[in-house]
Amino acid sequence: MTQSAAKPIYVLNGPNLNLLGEREPEIYGRATLADIEAACRARAQSHGFHIVFRQTNVEGELIGWLHEARSAGCAVVLNAAGWTHTSVALHDAVKAIAIPVIETHLSNPGAREPFRHVSYVSMAAKGVIAGFGAQSYLLAIDAAAACAAPSS
């Protein structure tokens, strides 16, 4: 299978990320979620992949998308936002899928409030990219593409 015919990379976003560009720009930057989506599409295309890009404020919907990605995707870039630090159900969903999940954050949770220092997602993810603003997503796309590319 060629990369252009490969399954998509899922880019899944959790709560409040629909407010990017407006909500706490000193922490999350001025890029909107639409800006990030466009950049992710371009980066994935440069690797020969396409993406499924989604955002939700409903935890069960995000879990359903992870379940969908199990068979329909080749990798997941996941910014679970606040659920990163609270959701055992999300941890279990990530753990239940065999494709690589790259946890992604705009800010560096380890440099923020103590309650953000624990990530239930990290315990099940392939890796974590955080603290580089919108660039975090592009680095995560690079990692997902590398994990999903057929070995030569």
Interatomic CA distance for residues 67 and 69, integer angstroms? 5
Catalogue the active-site residues.
28, 105
Interatomic CA distance for residues 121 and 100, integer angstroms? 12
Interatomic CA distance for residues 17 and 24, integer angstroms? 11
Single-letter amino acid code for the residue at 124: A
Q: Count of H helices and E strands in the chain? A: 5, 5
